[in-house]
Structure 1
C-alpha cells in the first residue's frame, strides 16, 4: 500500500492509504536500496536535526563488507531501471554523459576504475551510483542543468561516493549496529536496551549518510576542477535545484520524492561547494561547455510520459487509464507517481485524485470508508451517478479542514476524488464541478498526446526573458520556470544570438 499526503482534519497533513500503483517512480527504489547500502548516493536534501551517534561497542564477530564486489546484479539493475520508467533513448545526451564521466574518472584518485552510465526515462530530478560503478541520471536532471560543468558536478559527486566506498561503509555500519542490538536483546536478555540501541543506530546512520554527502561534495568539486571543468558549476546546479524545489513548495504540493529527499540542506551544500571552489580559484578557471551541453539535450522529453498521465493546463489526461478531468478555476495540479495533487495559489483549497483497490461485491460506500482515516459525517453518504458512472460522495469535517470525498467506478477501476477546504466552508460546488468533469478519454485524443520537449532556441534582437517564457508550454509560472531552466536570475536580460532552453509541445 502507498501513502498519499493531503491536509488532515485536525492538522496540516494526514496520510490516506491507497492501493495499486498508477505510475512508476524513484521513491521506493531509492529507499529500498539505501536500506541495503547499495545506492552510493541519491542526490537531495535531508534537512532537520541530527542526533548524536550511539555509543556502541562492536563485537569482533560483527560482519564486514569490503570492496566493490557487493554490487547489485544485472537483475537488480534491470529492476531499478524499470522502476524509473526504463532507459531513455537519447544518443547525444548519453554520449555526453559517458565522455564527461571518463574525463572525471581520469582525474580521481582511482583512475583505473570503470563506470557505466544509464539514462533513465523519468522526469524526477535524480542521480545516484551503485558500488560497482553503475551511474544513473534521469532526463529530469538533464533538463535542469544548464551546461556541461553542472552535469559534470553531479557525476563527480556520485563518482566520489563510489571511490570513497561510502555504500560499503554504510552497509557495514548498519550490519554491525543490527548485530549489537540483537546480541543485547537476545543474548543478554535486555530487549528494551536492544530496541533503544536500534533506534540510536538509525540516527547514527542518518548522520553518517549526511557526513558522506558533504564529503562527496568536497571531493566532487576538487575532481571537477582537476578534470578542467568550472568548479563553480556545482554551486550553480544546487542553486537551480533549490529554486526548482521552491517552485513546488510554493504551490503547497508534495511533489515527487526527487533528489531533495535524502541529502543535507541545499543551502548548506551550496555554501560548502562554493567555498571549495573559491579555494581552487576564481570563477572562469575551468570550462563550462554550455554550447556543447545545450546541443546534447536539445529535443529531449520534458515532464511526464503520456503513459503516466499528462497535465495540460487545468486538464489531466491519462491514456493508460483512459480517463480525463478538469480541475476548477484557480487550481494548479501536479501529476506525481502516486496521485494527482492540486492546490489553489493561496493554499486554502486542495485536491487529490487516485486509483484505489476495491473487491468484487464491495460497495463504493465501503471503499470510501476503508480508504479514509477520519470520521465521515453521519447521513452525508450519498449514492449518485457521477458523470454517468456509479459513485458515492460523502462529507468529513475536522478542526481546520472540511473534506468532500467521492469513490467513482469506471469499468473495472475505482477512483477516489477528494477536495479539501480550509476552515468550515463546504467545497461542494467546486467539488461537484470537478467530479462531473471526469470522463472517458477519447481514443483519438489519447493517440495524439505527445510528451513535452525541451528545445534550444536562439534569442532574437529585442527579445526578453518574458517573451521567451511565453513560448513555454507549462502548467504555471512560465517565467520562473524559464529562468530556472536557464540559470538566470529574476530581472536578468537575455542576449541576442545566445541559446536558451524552452519547453514546447
Structure 2
C-alpha cells in the first residue's frame, strides 16, 4: 500500500464493521457455532422455494460462519422470531416463509437473502432500546424481500456488464466499453440508494400495520448515526460519495420521520420495552476476548499471546485483519497487524515489501523490543508522516504503523507504543472475561451513577448515553431500567 492508500485504510478502519450498519453484508472470518435458526410459523399451504435449497443452504452457512456463528441467546432468538412472525402477517406477502438468525458478532448489521432468511447481529440488538426498534430493522429487511430488490439489482448488474462487454469485445471499442461500465456503476449506486429508501418507507408501513411504533425506525437510525460518530472519535461521517450504495443516515432519518408522520402523530403503537430489555439482559456485548480486547488501557490478544498499551488519546477498533486506532481530532492514526514473512526474510526487508511508498533511510534502523528483534522505518507522504516497525515474536511477525497528519513526526508516541508490545502470561489470558449487557434500575436521575459502571475501553459516559438512546444532559428516571456493559 502506498502512503495515501495506507492512511485511507487507517482512516476508514476505525469504522470497519460500521460501514455497512443496517445496510448489507459485511463479512468477517470467524468460527461457526451450530445452532438452528428460528423459523417463523407459516401456513402449511404456503409456497416454498424449490430447486435452490442446496445453494441457499451453502450461502447461509458461509454467512453464519463469517459473522462468528450463531449467538447462543435463546430468549433473544425467540423474541426475534415472534417479532418477525408479527411483521410477516402485516406485510404485503403474509404467505412468505422466513427464518431469522441471530449472529454472534459485535458489528451492528442486519440483512436478508431473497430466500427469506433474515440475519441480525447481537451488536444491532444491543443498540436497540425496545422491540419496536428491532421490528423496524426487520421490517426494512422483509421489504427488501417482498420488493424483490436482490433480483432486480442482479438483473441490472448482468445487463450492464453484458452491454459494456459487447461494446468492448464485439464492436472492438474498449474505450466506449470502459465508459459504459463506469456509467453502469453510477446507475447501480443510484439504484441501491433508491432501494434503501423504498425499503425504509415500506418497512415503516409494515411496522405500523403490525401495531408497533412507526417512529421506531427514525429512533434506531438516529442511534446508528450517533454510533458512527462515536466510532470516529466525534467527527462527522459527511455526505456519501456518488458511488455510495446507500443514502446518508441523516437523509434516511428524515425520510423515516416523514413516513411515520403520514401514519399519525408520535405515541402510536407499542414499543414493548420492558419485555425487550428482559430478553437482552446478559446478552454478550463487544468483542470476544479470544479475538482481542482492551482492558485497563491495554490491548490484549490471548490467541496471539501478546499485548500492547493503548497510546494516550487513541480509540481502538478491532477488525478481522487489523487493530486500527484514531485520535478524537483525526490527526493521528495507527495500525497493528500480523504479516506473512518468508522463511529467513529480514525484518527491514519485510517493511519494504509491505510498504510500496519510499522509506526515508534516515529513519531506518534495527533493534529490539523487549528482547525481540525489530526493524524501524520512516515514510513521508504528501499529507501524512508514517513511523513503521516490524517485530518478530516467536514465529510471528507483527507490524506497527503510526501516522501523523502533515509534517509532524509521531516518533515519540510511536516509540512508547512499540516499546509496550510484549508477550502475556497464561494467567493474564485466563483472567479475561467477556463483557455483556446488564439491565439495571437507575438509582437516581444522574447518569454518572450508571456510566461509571460501564466496562468499556474509553468514553464511558458517551457510550452509556448512545447505548440507551439518551442525549447529553439527559436525566434518568429513577427505578427505570437502563443498559450498562459489565463483565
Question: TM range, normalised to the smaller chain?
Answer: 0.7 to 0.9
**Unmatched 5+ residue regions in structure 1?**
17-22, 34-66, 255-260
How do 1:34-73 and structure 2 match up within 5 A?
A: 72-73=55-56
**Unmatched 5+ residue regions in structure 2?**
11-15, 29-48, 238-243
Say which of 30, 38, 42 aligns to 2:25: 30
- Give the CA deviation at 1:459: 1.1
Distance 1:171 1:69, change over 3 A: farther
Distance in 1 of aligned mates of 2:6 and 2:197: 31
Tell which deviates more after alignment, 346-355 or 364-373.
346-355
Aligned residue for 1:80, secondary structure, equals: helix
1:466 aligns with 2:461: no
Tell which deviates more after alignment, 325-334 or 306-315.
325-334
Q: CA RMSD in A?
A: 2.5
Aligned position for 1:201: 184
Distance in 2 of aligned mates of 1:97 and 1:421: 45
- Give the CA deviation at 1:253: 11
How do 1:126-275 and structure 2 match up within 5 A?
A: 126-250=109-233, 262-275=245-258
Distance in 2 of aligned mates of 1:69 and 1:212: 27
- Give the CA deviation at 1:373: 2.6
CA contact (8 A) 1:251 1:344 kept: no
1:490 aligns with 2:472: yes
Say which of 410, 416, 426 aligns to 2:409: 426
Say which of 283, 295, 299 aligns to 1:312: 295
- Give the CA deviation at 1:191: 2.0
Distance in 2 of aligned mates of 1:406 and 1:155: 45
CA contact (8 A) 1:68 1:132 kept: no
How do 1:353-392 and structure 2 match up within 5 A?
A: 353-392=336-375
CA contact (8 A) 2:323 2:336 kept: yes
List per-residue Cα deviations over 1:254-304 (Å, max 9, x = no partner): 9xxxxxx85211111111111111111111110000001101111111110
Distance in 1 of aligned mates of 2:333 and 2:26: 27
List per-residue Cα deviations over 1:128-168 (Å, max 9, x = no partner): 00000000000000010000000000000000000111101
CA contact (8 A) 1:253 1:334 kept: no
Aligned residue for 1:30, secondary structure, equals: coil
Aligned position for 1:45: none
Say which of 373, 396, 401 aligns to 1:413: 396
Aligned position for 2:73: 90
CA contact (8 A) 1:25 1:337 kept: no
Q: TM-score, normalised by structure 2?
A: 0.87
List per-residue Cα deviations over 1:151-202 (Å, max 9, x = no partner): 0000000000001111011111111121222222222222222222111111
- Give the CA deviation at 1:444: 1.5
**Looking at both structures, which has the greater relative contact order when contacts are Cα pairs under 8 Å and sequence separation is at least 6?**
1
Distance 1:158 1:457, change over 3 A: same
Aligned position for 2:31: none
Say which of 92, 100, 111 aligns to 2:83: 100
- Give the CA deviation at 1:416: 0.3
